[in-house]
Amino acid sequence: MDEQRALTLLSALASPPRLAAFRLLLRHAPCGVPAGVVAKATGTVQNTMSAHLSHLERAGLVRANRQGRNVFYSADMDMFRTLVAWLMQDCCDGRADICLPLIQDLTMAKDTPYNVLFLCTGNSARSILAEALMTHLGQGRFRGYSAGSHPSGQPNPFALQVLRQNGIGTEGLRSKSWDEFAGAQAPQMDYIFTVCDNAAGEICPVWPGKPVSAHWGLPDPASVTGSDAEKAAAFAVTLGQIHRRLQAFLGLPLGTLDAMSLKARLSEIGKEGQA
């Protein structure tokens, strides 16, 4: 970071609407927020706020990610840390005992993705769809995983088909036991969602860390009989249901919710689409 780069970043923030928008994005980091939500929260006309967000994006403080008709904006935490660390580099007249720990936190901390595990019995349909879609929508901020209590051995072909039809990657997807995620060497999960009622009622392994869990039950598209077109349609419906739930999940201010409020919100999302 040099002085000219710092001036560019600070100039981008030298506007009440842009500063308010950026502070809002910081509160919701690492999740993205739609431009319309930012405009409403800051009391700014949407077209005007879109221009402000584009200004912040050009400066390097904000990232934009189009999801369907909406553009989601998120704060670039690496750039923000770099700017704050540069501003603090001479703080306290070089008193390392005061400033160095904070500077190290700002410059060395990395945005690590949230790990999200989806569980069902066979790990061939619903959980596979959720794993792939989570990674796709997460854009590096969230990483999806899936497993089953009694894995079938391979993903359902209709699950892979509907993912590919929607431009969602399927590389590396496989049916696997949930025991893979219970060991000390397994990636530590932040969130665990059961997507079938059977898995929710089984005794799960003890997961490393303290992941937040919720039940997001869904009908099994693999149980649908009939023609291939009817089966494919069932998987498309399930993918749409998962998509709506994940969009709601990604819109939560995860860093600001207490544990009880977060559990309640996740439970509400799990009821989406139920009669």
Residue 196 appears among annotated catalytic residues: yes
Task: Check 31, 92, 99, 120 and give the catalytic one.
Answer: 120
Task: Check 31, 91, 99, 204 and give the catalytic one.
Answer: 204
Cα distance between residue 81 and residue 105, in whole Å: 9
> Can the peptide bond before residue 30 be classed as cis, meaning omega within 30 degrees of 0?
yes
> Which string of DSSP letters, residue by residue, matches 197-243?
HHHHHS-PPPPSS--EEEE-----GGG--S-HHHHHHHHHHHHHHHH
Cα distance between residue 232 and residue 222, in whole Å: 9
Task: Check 91, 92, 99, 196 and give the catalytic one.
Answer: 196
Contact between 119 and 177 (Cβ < 8 Å): no
Please enumerate in sequence order all residues whose Cβ is within 8 A of that of 243, keeping only pairs 6 or more positions apart, or say none.
Answer: 133, 137
Residue 92 appears among annotated catalytic residues: no
Residue 31 appears among annotated catalytic residues: no
Q: Give the pair of three-digit tokens for residue 99.
A: 């400033």
Task: Please name which of 188, 126, 124 lies closest in space to residue 151, comparing C-alpha atoms.
Answer: 124
Catalytic center residues: 120, 196, 204
